[in-house]
Structure 1
Amino acid sequence: MNGAGRTDGTEGTSRSGGHRAYIGSFTSGGGRGVLTATVDPVTGALTPLAVTGTLPDPSYLALDRSSGVLYAVSESDEGAVGAFRTTAGGLAALGPAVPVAGSGPTHIALAGSRLLTANYTSGSVSSLPLDAEGTPRGPATVLAHTGAGPDAARQEGPHAHQVVPDPTGRWVLSVDLGTDSVRVCALDPADGALRVRAEVALRAGTGPRHLAFHPSGAVVYVLHELEPQLTVCRWNANAGLLEPLREVPLAPEGAPDGVRAYPSAVVAAPDGRFLWVAVRGTDTLATFSLTADPTLPRLTDTTSSGGSWPRDLAVDPSGRRLYAANERSGEVVWFDVDPESGRPRRSGALPVPAATCVVFG
């Protein structure tokens, strides 16, 4: 399989020729599974096509464009992944779910011929091989994180929340909320094991959750869940070095207190001019301008997510629209992006109970 064709949902068209969106959900919270929807090329509106409910709690998705296979975690105590062939009518399962040898997987990504999951509850990252058809096979190779943080309720041990390859494909970065750190790993091509190159410490108690690369590949934005801020880092792909530069708050100075903010997702515009962050609790989307310097994000706008508890945020392939998966209010809201300011303006919504994730294909 050609790794260059893989995507986390920021670009692509489906093998069936039409533009699609795939939406994950918590079946334990009333969701129906993975929803396939068509995307109107003019308005960005979503229209339901089919639902696949064979996998419990498919909370995060990843799409391989070259093979037309969609992967989903099963965010359960047992921890598993499912694989589905994209078809004209929706999705077709490629066999039974495969255990990841980790508990509570919250994120999934493709790296070469391996499928990776970040396992929140067990604080580990799993690597599974893919066969020629793109079907995951066991057993998983597991990298166990170690450590803890000062927040006794949330950081009693490691909690890997995201795993993502860098744009060159040479390195894998895993974000751990429990240990306040990002691990830079090399993926062994022989056995698929992750070898830690470095563990980069971030400020204690901030709880890093997700990161996003600037399209240049030279800057990384680490989003923190336990404190509403970003850590801006320089990324050296040649050496595999992540260097924290500064922290940037997600709210303007003088913003009122009283509501606890839980940042959830960060995405960069394909042209590198803007950065957007979803924040639960305040239920807002923050817009940052990157035009002056991508290492100096400037907060320019804060707007409503259009619902409650925006768990995920996705930018469409054109960069003209944002999609927020509002978990608790149960809908995916889409926004038109102002081309000059980057400000999102609500355009429509699709009811999706317990929505958790949106990817495009």
Structure 2
Amino acid sequence: MDDTDGKHRNGGHRVHIGSFTSAGGRGITTADVDPATGALTLLSTSDAVADPSYLALDRGTGVLYAVSETQQGAVVAFRPTREGLAALGPAVRVGGAGPTHLSVAGRRLLTANYTSGSVSSLPLSEDGILCGPASVLDHRGSGPDASRQERPHAHQVLPDPSGRWVLSVDLGTDSVRVCASDPATGALRLHDETALRAGTGPRHLSFHPDGETVYVLHELEPQLTVCRWNPGSGQLEPTDEVPLAPGAAPGAARAYPSAVVASPDGRFVWAAVRGTDTVVTLSLAGGAGKPRLVGSVECGGSWPRDLAADPSGRRLYAANERSGDVTWFDVDSLTGQPHRAGSVAVPAATCVVFA
């Protein structure tokens, strides 16, 4: 096995790191991961796309996709090689503005378009090349926060583990939408919408490995909403709320949660929180639907925009946007608590994706 598919002969992995080129980032940075220590060694960069703030890898084809979080809104496909990333054709417009997230769903590429408040679906060829044009589903609604929720702001879109449904998280409308794909065209159509507490600004969600529990992270209020997911009916039901910054002292920095990750073994949930610049740990010892806050640690930098677990769940990686670095942590196997192990400079870092 060569090193173009993300895993190397020494058992290590490769990661791709997104960044804001408009804030001094280098575009997409590729790094090797030391299998013994988790340390990152930077290998190459690509500035072929502006503001590639989020990345997604199709594990079937090995193709890496990047959003261009710009007013024009586009995506680009890359083939990872020994020399770096080779673009597979030009950028393709997504039909929406400010895409902040993307994911692969079968032979479709999905984007969440924050500025325009929509989700897009683009066809992919069998070898992963973008075919276009995009079909677009507009969100509708608003929330009580006039400065952040004046209109829809789709922040994340991803397929459920069954592959039958697509879930989109909207910060502007305080809701999660469930969509189905038209079998003939691949276009998304609204199936159901779950309202969450007004003004909380849901941003990101993660599925528990059981496939039936969902953790929704809120940006405008530091909390996690636990939901029951029914893959048969395509319905999402909120069951509990867990504060992530209880008892904050007067005058303390406001918390802006950004990313949530469930551990591969289903024992823990971690969340990155900007403002307080922490990584929060929740234990699932009481069951997947009963997360319990057990502690937090400093993120190792400033403004952790993304959080990623390695495939084993033994390490976490925080992309710290404002301090311009990626920090990695060793995870205590008993408590789930992360312990800082190192960092590397990556200007305006926004996300970490394992190959």
Whether 2:148 is the aligned partner of 1:154: answer yes
Which residue pairs with 1:307 in the alignment?
Answer: 301
In the TM superposition, residue 195 of structure 1 has moved relative to its aligned partner by 1.3
Which AA in structure 2 matches 1:240? Answer: G
Q: Any residues of structure 2 matched to 1:236-251 within 5 Å, and which?
A: 236-251=230-245
In the TM superposition, residue 14 of structure 1 has moved relative to its aligned partner by 5.3
Structure 2 residues without counterparts, runs of 5 or longer = none
Which residue pairs with 1:182 in the alignment?
Answer: 176
2:82 is matched with which residue: 79, 88, 92? 88
Distance 1:291 1:106 in 2: 33
1:204 is matched with which residue: 185, 198, 201? 198
1:327/1:353 contact within 8 Å kept: yes
Distance 2:271 2:347 in 1: 22
Distance 2:260 2:6 in 1: 29
Specify the SS of the correspondent of 1:313. strand
2:7/2:14 contact within 8 Å kept: no
Which residue pairs with 1:223 in the alignment?
Answer: 217
1:16/1:88 contact within 8 Å kept: no
Specify the SS of the correspondent of 1:28. helix
Higher relative contact order (CA 8 A, sep 6+): 1
Distance 1:90 1:299 in 2: 40
Structure 1: 4+ residue segments shifted above 3 A: none
Specify the SS of the correspondent of 1:126. strand
Q: CA RMSD in A?
A: 1.0
Which residue pairs with 2:41 in the alignment?
Answer: 47
Whether 2:278 is the aligned partner of 1:284: answer yes
Give the TM-score taking structure 2 as reference length.
0.97
Distance 1:16 1:354 in 2: 23
In the TM superposition, residue 16 of structure 1 has moved relative to its aligned partner by 5.8
In the TM superposition, residue 134 of structure 1 has moved relative to its aligned partner by 0.6
Give the TM-score taking structure 1 as reference length.
0.95
Structure 1 residues without counterparts, runs of 5 or longer = 1-12
2:32 is matched with which residue: 38, 47, 62? 38
What is the total number of aligned residue pairs between the two structures?
348
Distance 1:15 1:246 in 2: 40
Whether 2:128 is the aligned partner of 1:134: answer yes
2:207 is matched with which residue: 213, 222, 244? 213
Distance 1:223 1:16 in 2: 29
1:16/1:87 contact within 8 Å kept: no
Which residue pairs with 1:327 in the alignment?
Answer: 321
Distance 1:131 1:353 in 2: 33
2:268/2:284 contact within 8 Å kept: yes
2:6/2:14 contact within 8 Å kept: no
Which residue pairs with 1:168 in the alignment?
Answer: 162
Deviations 1:239-282 (A, max 9, x none): 11100011110024x33242111000000000000000000000
1:154/1:178 contact within 8 Å kept: yes
